[in-house]
Amino acid sequence: MGCLLGVAALFVPRFVIFLLWAFSDYMSQAFTTWVWPTIGFFFLPTTTLAYAVAQNEFHGFGGIGLVILLVGFAIDVGLIGGSARQRNR
């Protein structure tokens, strides 16, 4: 069950980024170029989604927008750090 949860945690943000890119202009409103969302897709997908939400819904990083971005980053770092911790056991 833990492996299934881990795979879903890695797959779902990338799937959402793909759907937003394919069927809306939500990502292009947040980013001015295609480079940063592409890099974010591979390395920090939850942070990329959090950045898009902060830019589109909260008009930047004032208050709740910054909190959303930090939570997205913490989730991404936690996913990366959690796998390293399991490997050391």
Radius of gyration over every alpha carbon of the chain, rounded to an integer in angstroms = 14
Integer angstrom CA distances of residue 2 from 9, 71, 76, 77, 83: 11, 22, 17, 18, 12
Helix extents (H) in the chain? 2-23, 26-30, 35-43, 45-57, 64-88
- Taking only the tens place, the pLDDT of each residue in 68-77 is 999 999 988 8
Residue 6 has pLDDT above 80, yes or no: no
Cα 26 from Cα 33, distance rounded (Å): 13
User: Tens digits of per-residue pLDDT, 36-62?
Assistant: 999 999 999 999 999 999 999 998 888
